[in-house]
Amino acid sequence: MSMRAPSTDLPISFEDVSVTAGAVTILDRISLNLAAGSPTVLIGPNGSGKTTFLRTAMGLIAPARGRITWGGQENTPPVRRAIVFQRPAMLRRSAAGNVRYALKAAKIPRAEHAARLAEVLALVGLEGFGERAARRMSGGEQQRLALARALARDPAVLFLDEPTASLDPAATKSIEDVVRAIASRGIKVVMSTHDLGEARRLAGDIVLLHRGRVIETAPATAFFISPRTEEARKFTAGELLI
C-alpha cells in the first residue's frame, strides 16, 4: 500500500442530498465535497446524522433526493472505498482469516495476499495476532482488526464511524495513531466522532452536522479558533446542542 495516483473514487460530491426513513428526514439537503487530503472529521450530537452520512457516502444508502458522485460518476461499486462500522462484526474466523476474506472479496491477486496480510496487521499493531480467533479478541483489538480488514481492500477513501467510542484512553490512542498512519499514506480518512478532543487531534477539516444539516464546514484550526455559526460556537464551547 503505497502512495497512489488519485483514485476515481475521489472527490466524493454530495449535491442537495436528502436521506429519509419513512416520514423522518435523516439527512436534509446536504451539498458537500470530500476531496483528497487530510482527514475530514464529522462532529455533532447524537442523532445529527453522522452515521447515515458515512453510510451514504460509502454508497450503502441511496438518497431520497439529490445525487452523489464518486470521482464524477454515479453508482460506482465500492471498490476503492472501505468503511469501519462503529461496532464492526467479526467474521467467525481467525484474525488473519478475516483479513484474507477481505482480500478475496476485493479480488486482490492471491499472490499478494501473504504480503498484504502481514503489512496491514503490522500497520494496526496486530503482528502475531493472526491465528487468534477474531471474536475472542478485546474491543480495541477488534476495532484494529476491522481497520486492517478495511485497509486490505486498498481503499482510496476510508470511512470510520466513531472508531474510538467505548474504548479506554490507551486503546483510543492506538487507534488514533493508526488513523494518522493511514492518512500519511495518502488514504482519505472521513470519520465521525463526538469527542471534540479527538476532532482537534486528527482533523484537517471539520464538518459540523446538526439535525441532518451541515451547519458549518471549515479547516480544523479555523473552526476551533473562530467558529462562524452560533451552533459551532456552542458545540466547541461544550454547550449542549439540542
Catalog residues that contact other proteins under the rule CB under 8 A.
Answer: 58, 60, 77-79, 82-83, 85, 88-94, 97, 101-102, 105-106, 133-136, 153
- Rounded to whole angstroms, the maximal C-alpha distance in the chain is 54
Q: Which of 189, 188, 187, 230 is nearest to 208 (CA)?
A: 230
Q: Which is nearer to other proteins, 21 or 133 (CB)?
A: 133
Smallest distance, Å, CB 9 to other proteins?
Answer: 13
* Residue whose CB is less far from other proteins, 35 or 133: 133
What are residue 184's phi and psi, to 5 degrees?
A: -70, -15
Nearer to other proteins, 67 or 87 (CB): 87
| CB of 61 vs other proteins, minimal distance in Å | 10
Which helix (H) or strand (E) segment is 36 a member of?
none
To other proteins, the closest distance from the beta carbon of 204 in angstroms equals 24
| CB of 120 vs other proteins, minimal distance in Å | 14
Decide whether 97 or 204 has the Cβ nearer to other proteins: 97
Residue 47 CA to chain centroid, in angstroms? 17
Parallel, antiparallel or unpaired: strands 213-219 and 205-210 = antiparallel
Q: How crowded is the C-beta side of 162, counted as CA atoms within 13 Å?
A: 19
**Which whole-number Å values give the CA distances from 5 to 2, 147, 183, 233, in the listed order?**
10, 22, 15, 38
> Which CB atom, from 161 or from 205, has the smaller least distance to other proteins?
161
Residue-by-residue DSSP string for 58-79: HTSS--SEEEEEETTBSS--SS
Please, what is the minimum distance in Å from the beta carbon of residue 60 to other proteins? 6
